[in-house]
Amino acid sequence: MSNAMWGGRFESGPAAIMEEINASVEFDQTLWRQDIAGSRAHVKMLAQQGIVTEADCAAILKGLDAVAHEIESGQFQFTRALEDVHMNVESRLSVLIGAPAGRLHTARSRNDQVATDMRLWVRDTLDELDAQMRNLQLVLAEKAQEHAASVMPGFTHLQSAQPVTFGHHLMAYVEMLGRDRSRVKDARARMNECPLGAAALAGTSFPIDRFATAKALSFDHPTANSLDSVSDRDFVLEALSIASICAMHLSRLAEEIVLWTTPQFGFIRLSDAFSSGSSIMPQKRNPDAAELVRAKSGRVIGALTALLVVMKGLPMAYAKDMQEDKEGTFDALSTLSLMLAAMTGMIADMTPDTKAMKKAAGAGYATATDLADWLVRSLNMPFREAHHVTARLVGLASARMIGLEKLSLSDMRSVEPRIHDGVFAVLGVDKSVKSRTSYGGTAPQQVRSQARRWLTKLRKEMR
C-alpha cells in the first residue's frame, strides 16, 4: 500500500487511482461496433476528399475489419492503460497496419467520436426496444381479443367501481405502450443527426464532407453547431425518459399481476415458467418475475436522475463528466429490454380465471351506476336524485346481504314507486358492460374493435 490516506485498494499509488477513475474501457467497449462503423465512414470520407490517400484508406479499412474480427471472436485484449474503446481500437490498428493507422484521427477528436458512437448506440438500441414494445402490445391485444367479453371489476381507488372487461383492461396497456413507441419515434427523429466532424469543439480546417459521413452512418444530416455536437447529451436523456415512462407502465402492470395472482383476488394464474415456490411454505406460488419488473423500474428511473444531475452544471463544451453517461444508460436500456421480455412472457403464458373475475365483478354493488342511469333514462329523474334513490336501494340490498338484481320489484317500489320491471334489464354485470358502448368504452363490441384495429396495425408492421 502506497498511501494510508487513499486506502488499501491501490497497490501502486496515485497513478493507479487516476487510471481507475479515468478509464472507461471496462464499460465503453460496449460501443465497439459503433466506434468501428464511425471510423470506417470517417476514413472513406477522408479519402474521397483527398485528405488521406486511397492506399492508406484501404489499409485502415482492412485493419479495422481485422480489429472487429478480433473483438467479435473474443481474442481482443482491451486494456485499461489505453483508457477507452477509441484508443484501444486505434492502438491495435497501429500494431496491425503500422503507419497509416496514424492518419485515421485526422480531422476528428474523441469528443465528436464518442458523441457519434453514443448516438448510434442509443438509436439502434431504441429500435430494438421499439420492436420489443410492439411484441408486448401484440400479446396483450391477442389476449384482449380473446377476453373481450370476460367481465372483471373495474376499480377506482382500488375499490370496486363498475364492471369492465378483462380485454378492456389489457387494451389500456396497449395504448400506453403505443404512446411509449410514439415517443421513441419522435426522439429518434430528433437525435438522428451526426456529430462526426465537429472535432474537439470548433470544427476543423480540413476540407471534410460532413454530409457524406452523416449519410454513411444513416443519419438524416450533420449537426449544425460543433459546440453543441460534442457537449450535448439530451438525446441520451430523452432515451432514458422514454425508458423511465415505459418502465413505469410495466411496473404498474406488474403490480396488477402481483395483486391478481394473490389468492384474495385469484384473477389470473401465471405459468410455472414465470412463478417460483417458497423454500419453506409449500402452498406458495410467488410472482417473482412481476415483482422484479416492478422493482427494476427503479434502476431505469435512477439512471435518468443520475444523468440529469451529471449534466446540469456543465459549461460548454466537452467535459469528462460526460463519460458518466454510459454505464447508467447501458444498464437502464438493457434492464428495460429484460423487463419487456419478462412481461411479454408472463402475459402470453398467463391463464385468467374468468369465473373468479366475474364473481368479483358482481360484488360491492358495482352495477349501482347502471341502476342510477336507468332511473335517469326511464323515469326522467335528475341524476342527483337518481344517485340518492340508488344509494337507498343499495342500503336495502346490503341490509339483506343480497345483490341489487335480487331485490324484488316491490322492494324497489318501496323506495321509488315508479320503478318497473324494465330495470332488471340493466342489472347484472354482463348487461352492465354490454351497455357501455360509447367509443373507447368497455362494451365487448368496442373492445373487439379496438383490439382488431391494433392487431391489424401491429401485424402489418411485422410483415
Active site residue 378: no
Distances (CA, A) of 270 to 254, 260, 338, 340, 352: 12, 10, 18, 16, 9
The residue within the footprint of ligand ARG, chosen from 34, 39, 88, 111 (CB under 6 A), is 111
Nearer to ligand ARG, 160 or 213 (CB): 213
Distances (CA, A) of 62 to 67, 110, 175, 435: 9, 21, 48, 69
Contacts 24+ apart (CB under 8 A), 177-182: 177/133, 177/136, 177/137, 177/140, 177/246, 177/249, 178/137, 178/454, 180/133, 180/242, 180/245, 180/246, 180/249, 181/130, 181/133, 181/134, 181/137
**First-to-final CA distance of the chain:** 62
**Among residues 157, 205, 279, 408, which one is catalytic?**
157
Minimum CB distance to ligand ARG, residue 36 (Å): 15
Q: Which range in 50-58, 106-114, 183-191, 236-244 contacts ligand ARG by CB under 6 A?
A: 106-114
> Should residue 184 be labelled a site residue for ligand ARG when binding is judged by CB under 6 A?
no
The stretch among 158-166, 318-326, 396-404, 413-421 that binds ligand ARG (CB under 6 A) is 318-326
Cβ atoms of residues 31 and 117 within 8 Å: yes
Beta-carbon contacts of 226 under 8 Å, excluding residues fewer than 6 positions away, are: 112, 198, 199, 201, 202, 203
Choices 5-13, 107-115, 392-400, 429-437; region in contact with ligand ARG by CB under 6 A: 107-115
Q: Count the neighbouring beta carbons within 10 Å of the beta carbon of residue 376.
A: 15
Nearer to ligand ARG, 28 or 130 (CB): 28
Cell of 454: 391494433
Question: 35 or 130: whose CB is closer to ligand ARG?
Answer: 35
d(CA 347, CA 352): 10
By CB under 6 A, which span of 66-74, 317-325, 398-406, 445-453 interacts with ligand ARG? Answer: 317-325
State yes or no: cis peptide before 55, omega within 30 of 0. no
**Counting contacts by CB under 6 A, is residue 323 touching ligand ARG?**
yes
- What Rg, from alpha-carbon coordinates, does the chain have? 31
Q: How far is the CB of 321 from ligand ARG (least distance, A)?
A: 9
For residues 19 and 209, which CB has a smaller minimum distance to ligand ARG in the complex?
A: 19
Task: Kindly tell me which of 114 and 372 has the beta carbon lying closer to ligand ARG.
Answer: 114
Tell me the sheet residues that pair with 153: 163
Kindly tell me which of 84 and 370 has the beta carbon lying closer to ligand ARG.
Answer: 84
Contact between 183 and ligand ARG per CB under 6 A:
no
Work out how close the CB of 322 gets to ligand ARG at its nearest, in angstroms, rounded to a whole number: 5
Given 32, 318, 365, 374, the residue binding ligand ARG (CB under 6 A): 318
Q: Is 71 in the site for ligand ARG (CB under 6 A)?
A: no
Nearer to ligand ARG, 199 or 394 (CB): 199
Q: Which of 92, 110, 123, 233 binds ligand ARG (CB under 6 A)?
A: 110
From 182, 271, 278, 449, the catalytic residue: 278
- CA-angle at 341, arms to 337 and 346, nearest 5°: 145
Distance of CA 450 to the CA centre of its chain: 22
Closer CB to ligand ARG, residue 318 or residue 374?
A: 318
Q: How many CA atoms lie within 13 A of 436 on its CB side?
A: 22
Contact by Cβ (8 Å): 96, 140: no
User: Is residue 114 near ligand ARG by the rule CB under 6 A?
Assistant: yes
Distance CA 192, CA 313 (A): 25
Rounded to the nearest 10°, the torsion over CA 386, 391, 393, 394 is 140
- Closest approach, Cβ 27 to ligand ARG, in A, equals 9
> Considering only residues 35, 84, 180, 370, which one is a binding residue for ligand ARG as defined by CB under 6 A?
84
Within residues 25-64, the interface with ligand ARG by CB under 6 A covers 28
Binding range to ligand ARG, per CB under 6 A, among 42-50, 191-199, 316-324, 409-417 = 316-324
Q: Would you call 24 a catalytic residue per the annotation?
A: no
Active site residues: 157, 278
Residue ranges in contact with ligand ARG by CB under 6 A: 24, 28, 84, 110-111, 114, 318, 320, 322-323
